[in-house]
Amino acid sequence: MSEVLYVTEDGLQKLKEELNQLRTVERPMISRLIADARDKGDLSENAEYAAAKEAQGLLEMKISKLDDIIARSRVIDGSKNDTSTVRILNKVKIRNKANNTIMEYQLVPESEANLKIGKIAVSSPIAQGLIGKKVGEIVQVKVPSGVISFEIISISM
């Protein structure tokens, strides 16, 4: 059986929108390109036709992959999360004990991680070190550059 992928409602909606875009816009456009190239004559020496067919294959592979991801996706209901301990979808404010830098991250599924906006994957070393911990706890997180100590300042939704 395939692995279940956990996503937020927004994440699932984005996947569905992308799939719809590929099916309703990209697929017809590539079909037109193939038809135009076919009209130009001998297919054995038609580079446009070969390129369009290759693009079609890549598109169909991407559509198939998205179909699979959506089929295996399960929506996480964040409304049932509490803030007594760190869990997926919580926002966590932490202080680096070495340099007193304060950071705030939201723990999200891997497919929705974006460090620029403060969303880290639940599978990342920092998130793994924080999960299950409470406000005030000091956690030791093993990262590629060594071990970093963080203090959990707050947990919120």
* pLDDT value of residue 54: 92
Please give the average pLDDT of every successive group of 10 residues along the chain, which has 157 residues: 74 91 94 86 77 92 92 77 80 89 88 87 87 88 87 87
DSSP string, 89-127: T-EEEEEETTT--EEEEEEE-GGG-BGGGTEEETTSHHH
User: Of the CATH numbers 2.170.130.10, 1.10.287.180, 1.10.20.10, 1.10.10.10, which one belongs to the domain with range 5-75?
Assistant: 1.10.287.180
Q: Which fold has domain 79-156?
A: Chitinase A; domain 3 (3.10.50)
Show me where the domains of the chain are located. 5-75, 79-156
* pLDDT value of residue 64: 94
Q: What is the pTM assigned to this prediction?
A: 0.65
Instruction: State the Cα–Cα distance between residues 21 and 135, nearest whole angstrom.
Output: 43
- The answer to whether 80 touches 100, Cβ cutoff 8 Å, is no
* pLDDT value of residue 89: 84
* pLDDT value of residue 55: 92
* pLDDT value of residue 30: 93
* pLDDT value of residue 32: 92
| Fold: same for 5-75 and 79-156 | no
